Amino acid sequence: MVETPSRNLPFGSLVAAMVTPFTADGHVDFDATAALATKLVDDGCDGLVVSGTTGETSTLEDSEKEDLYRVVAETVGDRARVIAGTGTNHTSHSVEMARRAERAGAHAQLVVTPYYNKPTQSGVLAHFHAVAEASDLPIMIYDIPGRSAIPITTETMLRLADHPKIGALKDAKADFAAVTRVLAATDLDVYSGDDGLTLPWMAAGAVGVVSVSAHVATRAFRALVDAAAAEDFVEARRIHFELDPVIRAVMTHIPGAVSAKQILHLQGVLPNAVVRLPLVEPDRSELEPVLADLAEAGWDAAVLRRRQDVPA
């Protein structure tokens, strides 16, 4: 078990965006969920996002999400912050999910920019305020225009930061100038929403990362976050370079939820790599570049191939 330094961070510092394990017939596997949550926390995560994008939230029923919040909170809620993915593009639905998350024992919530609808910035502001007022759970805002179709402008973010229940930003916009303004002008805890930008974002003052790749390299990410927090940038840079091929393996070839489950299965952490449509498991040609990147990172690709029966 990795001992994480004591921090007064209501959302944690190394936050895994958890996959949702399924049984072979596609039902939520709550036993595997509890086991995965335990392993992630044992290995150094002090926060877990449950039912976020990587958790395939868009294909989960509301009752499944609430049960997932409860299972993870009951399993590791005394050792890590449980952050419920509650955001949708329907404000009243997001409000309902915020209340369900609070009822299930989550500590906080991750709320994404309303997607598909493409509201004005006034609509974005009103949406987040409505969700914030719906429960006592603090909010981490998730700014990811690649999925939501619109960014949260810096001016809107500065206004959102004034709300007492909005405490953090997961930035997946890759706009260093914008995140610098937020860091300089607000008290928000800022998190990198791109695994590969953890080091530069923390060098500028971010407190950590919400990560998909941390599923499969948790201890290395823990060491990176701790080194950056201690301003040991020589060590942080070394780990950053070490993690680069792992991050490429997880994040650049196939959807992150798919690749994370594949690698966790190869590692023997998950009993299978089942995903729900419209996601599908990769064919052998799609998995090959993932294995090649892991081999570049020093992983035993031959062993991984044997486990998956992937031809050399």
Identify the residue whose tokens are 């100038």. Answer: 177
CB 206 within 8 A of CB 192: yes
pLDDT of residue 86: 98
Q: Which amino acid is at 173?
A: K
Catalytic residue among 65, 69, 142, 191: 142
pLDDT of residue 29: 98
Q: Is 170 a catalytic residue?
A: yes
Residues 89-136 pLDDT 10s: 999 999 999 999 999 999 999 999 999 999 999 999 999 999 999 999
Residue 281, CA atoms < 13 Å, CB-side half-sphere: 13
Q: Give Dmax (Cα) for the chain.
A: 55
pLDDT of residue 2: 66
Catalytic residue among 65, 170, 173, 261: 170
Q: How does strand 208-211 pair with strand 108-112?
A: unpaired
pLDDT of residue 126: 98
pLDDT of residue 300: 82
pLDDT at 137 over 70: yes
Residues 15-63 pLDDT 10s: 999 999 999 999 999 999 999 999 999 999 999 999 999 999 999 999 9
Identify the residue whose tokens are 């930061």. Answer: 161
Peptide bond into 138 cis (omega under 30): no
pTM: 0.95
pLDDT of residue 12: 98
DSSP 3-state percent helix, strand, coil across the chain (nearest 5)? 50, 10, 40
pLDDT band at 171 (very low <50, low <70, confident <90, very high): very high
3-state secondary structure of 162: coil
pLDDT band at 311 (very low <50, low <70, confident <90, very high): very low
Sign of CA dihedral 88, 92, 94, 100: negative
Q: Is 191 a catalytic residue?
A: no
pLDDT of residue 164: 97
pLDDT of residue 3: 62
Which DSSP string corresponds to 233-277?
Answer: HHHHHHHHHHHHHHHHHHHSSS-HHHHHHHHHHHTTSSS-----T
Residues 202-257 pLDDT 10s: 999 999 999 999 999 999 999 999 999 999 999 999 999 999 999 999 999 999 99
b/e map 4-29, b = 16+ CB within 10 Å: beeeebebbbbbbbbbbbbeeeeebb
Q: What is the dihedral of CA 139, 148, 221, 109, to 10 degrees?
A: 20
- DSSP E strands, the chain: 14-17, 47-50, 81-85, 108-112, 139-143, 166-171, 189-192, 208-211
